[in-house]
Structure 1
């Protein structure tokens, strides 16, 4: 809807409001009543003040309409920002009309006049319509031009006042003088998204419908029993005070005992059922989230820190399930009890009930404002906590490195600084909670005083008995407790929704490189072809790692991939393992792109022994058979023997059942390497990748393992990556990569005879002779992670393809 249409509708309503209110007050054309009531105004006999409320409503809407027309760019945003203030003004008008009704009922006939009832009803309805038209004017700020600057500017100022920092805030360009703004569409969308998020969380309870019905049944039983307790308490007091009879006293007392017993039993069943239901929600959330994480591409784990991911999986899911379980339980119980209390209160005295409900809207508005603010704070706290967990996880997982560089104090200070950021947000939460409790307690106290004062008046005038007043006061206190619970439930749900949105962000994420291949041939020859492959990591798309790389790995042959650090050797391994997709070209296995193979089938045909093998905190046998099921012990021993690991494994305390510790910390580097080799050999792969597989072994162990590998290499397609060039002398083909380009390839003798880059590298490394070769570019480390959580040592330079050496 356009701004002009919204303003036109608002002005028409203002005119109609003035006309209808005036006609009802003046009984039609009798305008002389204005002067009469003005000269002889009596609040108990005149309703001139009730007519005056139309001036308040008209001033609000006329001011907003003029402001929107005068400043179409900023006006709607400012109107939207003042919505809460307008609601409070209209609630005040509504409550004054209700108070006027109660005052006139004491006078007598005026409250029953048809024209007054119509005027009273129209005043209440028009107060609600004023809020509606105000929201209509403020809603237009999302459709005004490209700026929306007024709302964005105002919200940005509010955010800075709240200390929320720069999140979601951006500097404006020309014409705004550097003022701060934030997208108003996102802010307005958050409110509606909260309901959708909560609804989605509750949808996970669909499988527990039967248990939920049982819980809700006992909730009704408990609430109904509790609703009758104040009623019979008042009867018992009347039995003593009014009837002065033990018979009138003992009957309601016995009923109270039965009601209390039934309520207690039902409350226990209800609480247990709800706890079980939401424990299942926690189970489903964690299971689905972890499975979603397992489907993500490797680039996702390169871009997201392990601490952030584990924080979503642990603290956020726990917070969601706990808050939702506790708050939904309390919410349902409080709502059912509040409805029952309200029915009893209305039956006792509709006048007292009217006084009671006059304060409810104010408490609701306060709870809404506080809930939205607390939700934003909760998101910031979760982000700060994730940052602190990131530092802690990285430090603890690399404790040996921290200790070796004596960086304990620096890491502790870094962690403490992150905790201080979270503490500042916690202080804001504490101040917000203090302000909420102050305003809430003041409102409740004022309401209780009004009820006692008016109830005392009704007792004195004989319109209510003392016992009924006591029952009503008890109902009011219980109703206040229910409303307070509902208010806290709202803020608690907003806190849970804030954590749930982050969980759903990962849960709904679609992998950019899904493992959806379908090929699973029975026979695999192991022919690997890199066909004009160009590649850049997703976290560094502007830096090209491989540039038109082409080579072939043939079955039964050993191919060595060598080159300076950062030339792209490990990147070739990542592409062959289908960790990433190349930007151009293809990586083929038996003539088919590797991403077209079924995930399980591909990695049963390709096995990798990495430079830094990762072992899990399980037994030696479980690490060797990782990813396999039903493997006989003989096969495990055979694979360990081939990897020269059987001897040291049998020397361990429990042999193959010995735990290796977290990431294999209870084994030496050479022992971990041999277990990793055995883990690869037990699969009998068609393609075997050895990425510096013997780098951690001593000379004797390397010789034995190399002999074992030489005995099986002719049965596989073998790709060897080594920096020690002496280990690749026996390779059938050596591919030399530099700066992402294949510059040489051929057998060892041919490359040495050509005296190219390979020859210079051998001379430098083996013979220690300075050959005058041009210096290699310094490596650049992309922000990627290895499986162990450290930085993966893939390196590259920013050299363009034209700077590459001439390809072989």
Structure 2
């Protein structure tokens, strides 16, 4: 509904309210009643005050309508800010009307004054309608922001101005527009998210446990019904002593009371156990769905979000959701059903005292609502701060060797403590808010109890109810107060759980921007890889192009080496071939088909990567080599390890292939980890093998053996190498030199050396470094260099040692 329609509805309702209230006030008679009531006003006889309230309601709604119509951008937000004040005013009007109803009831039966009774009912209903219309006018701020965002989008660049004019003014406008759109989007998302919807969605996760929940609700109802009858029999027992003065009249209520208490206790135990079991299953289901959805996210998601934040959502938030929801839903349902039963009994015993009780309910509910919203906000801030503290702890502990080597233990501890202090400040706000809430709640309950006791005593004295009934009613009222207190505290707990749940659902609802949803899975794969005019920028840095129109081909049975300075884009080519990201322009093809069109499992069974810093899992060596595969024979694992020259060192370990490598492979040396990683790639017998500096940590002998193993299989594979060693680069069938995101040169080692281009300069620079300092820095490696370096230097040093410099990049 637009602003104009909302204002029109409000104005029409104001006219209806004035007309209907006037008709009810005048009893359909002449308007002279206004003059008579004004001159001889008596609060117990005249209803002029009720008619005057309609002027207050009309002025509030008309003022809000005029403000929203006059200022369509700032008016609705200002109206929304006054919602709590309007709610308080309307509740006060309803309370005043009910109080007057009680006063008039003492003068005679209300059935003799139908017009007055109708006017009071309409006053209460109209006050509720004012609250609804006010909220409607305040919610129009969302549509205003949306329309404003659309207009700003329409004022964007037209089709005639699609050229990129890189001026400072346009950049500032784009940044400002982007910030504005993000703010509007955040506002819309915040308004869409409601606590009720989040709670309903959490309960929706329990649909599979519908049978258990039905049992829990059944015993919940049994327990609540039994407890609802207990105060009634308390009153009958007291009447048996005070009024009847007979043990017979006293014994029957006591026996019934005992049976009800026993049945309630049994039902309560069953209910609590079933609820706990149900929401324990909710915890498992939430964590499982969240982790599975995280596994589907694109690599850019893990680039943008810190590991500590993700782990906090997966562990702390899910646990908080299940614990708080299980405990509070249980208490909430019990208190609600008991409260409803108590209210029915109270109304049946004395509607006048019940009406007095009703007067205090809205104000207690208002305090709970305000406190709950504030507590929910604080809870979100506490969770965010805790996640930041966990981020510091996780980052520090995972890099403890680096922290220790730079003697920064105290600095990291201070950083963690600073985050904890921020969280402590928020905890103090929570404590203060809770203290204020308890103060206001206790004062309100005490005032309500005194009012009921005083008015109830009056009713007993006037003979309108018995003393036992008053005691039963007072017990009901106290029990009802406990139910309301439980509901208020439950609301706080639910808001805390909902605050954590919203963060969990934020990840659960996230759809990967680059889903692995390819369908191609051909029977044969030749391994022909083509980069065609590829332009690429990382999602975290979209303004910086890493690759700019890169084109080259990797042919089966050939070894292709990528060479270039650091940051030139070599590893980016690998990530695109692995389908970790999508290029902004161009295509990466495997056998003529874009890599993102292949099935995820199929692509990574045909393309294997061995990275510069291989990651091993805290499992056995056999499990690491066969990672991602099922039912792999031990012989196959050993064969792959033999190819990677890892079998000998593995068998020399006490437990052989059953040896645990420790967290991230810390129990193995760098060279051992790389050989295990190479075996993990070779066991798949891939068509495309990517070696991203895979032999950088191997000694010369191990590299020689691994290189021989690789040479025996390249006839049937496409091999892409990014390496330090000259032996790998020099013998490659094709060398591609990448500089600043573009292919600068391409050819064999001899061709590139003869051309005297960038490759030649990099090789010369490295050769000079080795000739002047290698012998002093590493005599053993220099010896290895010289053992076959004479041949290399005879070709103008062949640029062979370039592998140490350029092949790394």
Say whether the fold is shared (TM-score over 0.5).
Answer: yes
Instruction: Return closer, same or farther for 1:475/1:192 CA change in 2, 3 Å cut-off.
Output: farther
Question: Residue 668 of structure 2 corresponds to which residue in structure 1?
Answer: 667
Question: Residue 177 of structure 2 corresponds to which residue in structure 1?
Answer: none
C-alpha distance after superposition, 1:721-774 (max 9, x if no partner): 113334422222222222122222222233233332222222222342799xxx
**SS of the residue 2:586 aligns to:** strand
Determine whether 1:656 maps to 2:653.
Answer: no
Q: Distance in 1 between matches of 2:22 and 2:560?
A: 96
Question: Residue 801 of structure 2 corresponds to which residue in structure 1?
Answer: none
The question of whether the paired residues in 1 share the 8 Å contact of 2:561 and 2:721 is answered with yes
Question: Residue 552 of structure 2 corresponds to which residue in structure 1?
Answer: 551
1:543 to partner: Cα distance: 1.2
Question: Residue 570 of structure 1 corresponds to which residue in structure 2?
Answer: 571
**SS of the residue 1:666 aligns to:** coil
Question: Residue 759 of structure 1 corresponds to which residue in structure 2?
Answer: 760
Q: How does 1:778-793 map to 2 (within 5 A)?
A: none
**SS of the residue 2:106 aligns to:** helix
Question: Residue 513 of structure 2 corresponds to which residue in structure 1?
Answer: 512
Q: Distance in 2 between matches of 1:139 and 1:710?
A: 70
Q: How does 1:600-619 map to 2 (within 5 A)?
A: 600-619=601-620
Q: Distance in 2 between matches of 1:308 and 1:193?
A: 23
Q: How does 1:302-381 map to 2 (within 5 A)?
A: 302-381=303-382
**SS of the residue 2:194 aligns to:** helix
| Structure number having the greater helix percentage | 2
**SS of the residue 1:284 aligns to:** helix
Question: Residue 531 of structure 2 corresponds to which residue in structure 1?
Answer: 530
Question: Residue 122 of structure 2 corresponds to which residue in structure 1?
Answer: 122
The question of whether the paired residues in 2 share the 8 Å contact of 1:607 and 1:689 is answered with yes
**SS of the residue 2:511 aligns to:** coil
The question of whether the paired residues in 2 share the 8 Å contact of 1:297 and 1:513 is answered with yes
C-alpha distance after superposition, 1:10-59 (max 9, x if no partner): 45544554454444444444556556555655444444444443343344
Q: Distance in 2 between matches of 1:735 and 1:31?
A: 98
Instruction: Return closer, same or farther for 1:567/1:447 CA change in 2, 3 Å cut-off.
Output: same
Q: Distance in 1 between matches of 2:376 and 2:740?
A: 50
1:337 to partner: Cα distance: 0.9
Q: Distance in 2 between matches of 1:142 and 1:548?
A: 43
Determine whether 1:481 maps to 2:482.
Answer: yes
The question of whether the paired residues in 2 share the 8 Å contact of 1:142 and 1:184 is answered with no
Q: Distance in 1 between matches of 2:604 and 2:184?
A: 46
Q: Distance in 1 between matches of 2:668 and 2:145?
A: 66
Q: How does 1:609-648 map to 2 (within 5 A)?
A: 609-648=610-649
Compare 420-429 and 561-570 and name the one that shifted more.
420-429
Q: Distance in 1 between matches of 2:66 and 2:83?
A: 16
Q: Distance in 1 between matches of 2:637 and 2:113?
A: 96
**SS of the residue 1:559 aligns to:** strand
Question: Residue 258 of structure 1 corresponds to which residue in structure 2?
Answer: 259
Question: Residue 104 of structure 1 corresponds to which residue in structure 2?
Answer: 104
Q: Distance in 2 between matches of 1:563 and 1:76?
A: 59
C-alpha distance after superposition, 1:311-332 (max 9, x if no partner): 2212222222222222222221
Gaps of 5+ in 2: 150-171, 175-181, 773-809
Question: Residue 421 of structure 1 corresponds to which residue in structure 2?
Answer: 422
The question of whether the paired residues in 2 share the 8 Å contact of 1:562 and 1:723 is answered with no
Question: Residue 94 of structure 2 corresponds to which residue in structure 1?
Answer: 94
Q: How does 1:86-485 map to 2 (within 5 A)?
A: 86-109=86-109, 112-143=112-143, 186=187, 190=191, 193-485=194-486
How many pairs are equivalent? 744
**SS of the residue 1:377 aligns to:** helix
Instruction: Return closer, same or farther for 1:5/1:191 CA change in 2, 3 Å cut-off.
Output: closer
Q: Distance in 2 between matches of 1:479 and 1:333?
A: 12
The question of whether the paired residues in 2 share the 8 Å contact of 1:45 and 1:107 is answered with no
Instruction: Return closer, same or farther for 1:103/1:550 CA change in 2, 3 Å cut-off.
Output: same
Gaps of 5+ in 1: 150-170, 174-180, 772-808
Q: Distance in 1 between matches of 2:51 and 2:704?
A: 102
Instruction: Return closer, same or farther for 1:224/1:614 CA change in 2, 3 Å cut-off.
Output: same
The question of whether the paired residues in 2 share the 8 Å contact of 1:688 and 1:719 is answered with yes
1:470 to partner: Cα distance: 1.3
1:476 to partner: Cα distance: 0.8
The question of whether the paired residues in 1 share the 8 Å contact of 2:110 and 2:117 is answered with no
The question of whether the paired residues in 1 share the 8 Å contact of 2:142 and 2:188 is answered with no
Q: Distance in 1 between matches of 2:3 and 2:590?
A: 62
Q: Distance in 1 between matches of 2:591 and 2:370?
A: 63
